[in-house]
Amino acid sequence: MVSRDPRAGVTATRNGSTVAELDTYFSDSDAGDRLTADSARTSTFTNGSALIANGGQAIYSGTGGEPMGCTWPTVNTTTVPGVVFFAEIGC
Protein backbone atom coordinates (compact mmCIF):
# COMPACT_ATOMS: atom_id res chain seq x y z
CA MET A 1 0.00 0.00 0.00
CA VAL A 2 1.34 3.43 -0.95
CA SER A 3 0.91 6.27 1.53
CA ARG A 4 0.58 9.76 0.06
CA ASP A 5 0.47 11.40 3.49
CA PRO A 6 3.01 14.23 3.95
CA ARG A 7 5.98 13.27 6.14
CA ALA A 8 7.93 15.47 8.51
CA GLY A 9 11.66 14.89 9.01
CA VAL A 10 12.56 14.01 5.38
CA THR A 11 15.76 15.47 3.92
CA ALA A 12 16.03 15.79 0.13
CA THR A 13 18.92 13.97 -1.54
CA ARG A 14 20.72 14.40 -4.87
CA ASN A 15 22.67 11.37 -6.15
CA GLY A 16 22.37 9.81 -2.70
CA SER A 17 23.73 12.76 -0.70
CA THR A 18 21.98 15.59 1.10
CA VAL A 19 22.22 18.97 -0.63
CA ALA A 20 21.92 21.63 2.07
CA GLU A 21 23.24 24.31 -0.30
CA LEU A 22 20.42 23.62 -2.79
CA ASP A 23 17.39 22.63 -0.71
CA THR A 24 14.67 24.69 0.92
CA TYR A 25 11.87 23.46 3.17
CA PHE A 26 8.50 25.00 3.98
CA SER A 27 7.18 25.81 7.46
CA ASP A 28 3.47 25.69 6.57
CA SER A 29 1.68 23.21 8.82
CA ASP A 30 -1.21 22.56 6.40
CA ALA A 31 -0.42 19.72 3.97
CA GLY A 32 -1.90 21.70 1.08
CA ASP A 33 0.19 24.85 1.65
CA ARG A 34 3.69 25.58 0.38
CA LEU A 35 3.74 29.32 0.97
CA THR A 36 6.42 29.99 3.57
CA ALA A 37 9.98 28.99 2.68
CA ASP A 38 12.01 28.60 5.87
CA SER A 39 15.80 28.84 5.39
CA ALA A 40 16.39 27.60 8.95
CA ARG A 41 14.70 24.22 8.34
CA THR A 42 16.92 21.25 7.48
CA SER A 43 14.12 18.76 6.72
CA THR A 44 10.44 18.72 5.82
CA PHE A 45 7.85 20.03 8.25
CA THR A 46 4.35 18.58 8.61
CA ASN A 47 3.43 19.59 5.03
CA GLY A 48 6.19 17.26 3.73
CA SER A 49 7.47 19.72 1.11
CA ALA A 50 10.97 20.46 -0.14
CA LEU A 51 12.37 22.51 -3.01
CA ILE A 52 15.70 21.94 -4.77
CA ALA A 53 16.94 24.78 -6.96
CA ASN A 54 19.74 24.60 -9.54
CA GLY A 55 20.44 20.92 -8.92
CA GLY A 56 20.86 19.97 -12.57
CA GLN A 57 20.64 16.42 -13.95
CA ALA A 58 20.66 13.95 -11.06
CA ILE A 59 18.82 11.23 -9.18
CA TYR A 60 16.65 12.85 -6.51
CA SER A 61 15.12 11.17 -3.47
CA GLY A 62 14.82 11.65 0.28
CA THR A 63 16.02 10.19 3.53
CA GLY A 64 14.45 10.09 6.98
CA GLY A 65 10.82 10.19 8.03
CA GLU A 66 10.03 6.91 6.25
CA PRO A 67 7.09 4.92 7.51
CA MET A 68 7.87 1.36 8.60
CA GLY A 69 8.86 -0.84 5.66
CA CYS A 70 9.39 2.07 3.26
CA THR A 71 12.31 3.30 1.20
CA TRP A 72 11.85 6.60 -0.61
CA PRO A 73 11.71 6.14 -4.38
CA THR A 74 14.26 7.82 -6.62
CA VAL A 75 13.53 10.08 -9.59
CA ASN A 76 16.04 10.67 -12.39
CA THR A 77 15.36 14.23 -13.54
CA THR A 78 16.86 17.67 -14.00
CA THR A 79 16.25 21.22 -12.91
CA VAL A 80 15.59 23.87 -15.55
CA PRO A 81 16.01 27.64 -15.00
CA GLY A 82 12.63 29.38 -14.81
CA VAL A 83 10.66 26.11 -14.58
CA VAL A 84 9.19 24.42 -11.50
CA PHE A 85 8.59 20.67 -11.52
CA PHE A 86 6.33 19.23 -8.83
CA ALA A 87 6.59 15.57 -7.89
CA GLU A 88 4.34 13.96 -5.32
CA ILE A 89 6.24 10.93 -4.12
CA GLY A 90 4.61 8.45 -1.79
CA CYS A 91 6.04 5.54 0.03
- To the nearest 5 percent, what fractions of the chain are helix, strand and coil? 0, 25, 75
Question: Does any domain span residue 61?
Answer: yes
Question: Does any domain span residue 47?
Answer: yes
Q: Which domain holds residue 58?
A: 11-77
pLDDT of residue 34: 78
Question: Does any domain span residue 4?
Answer: no
Question: Does any domain span residue 63?
Answer: yes
Percentage of the residues of the chain whose pLDDT score is greater than 90? 26
Question: Does any domain span residue 72?
Answer: yes
Question: Does any domain span residue 16?
Answer: yes
On whether the CB atoms of residues 47 and 87 are closer than 8 A, the answer is no
Whole-Å CA distances, 14 to 22, 50, 77: 9, 12, 10
Q: Which amino acid is at 43?
A: S
Q: How many domains does the chain have?
A: 1
Closest of 35, 24, 29, 37 to residue 8, by C-alpha: 29
The 10s digit of each residue's pLDDT in 46-79 is 888 888 888 889 999 999 988 787 888 888 888 7
Question: Does any domain span residue 2?
Answer: no
Q: How confident is the model at residue 43 (pLDDT cuts 50, 70, 90)?
A: very high
Question: Does any domain span residue 90?
Answer: no
Number of neighbouring beta carbons within 10 Å of residue 87: 8
Compute the average pLDDT of residues 26-49.
Answer: 84
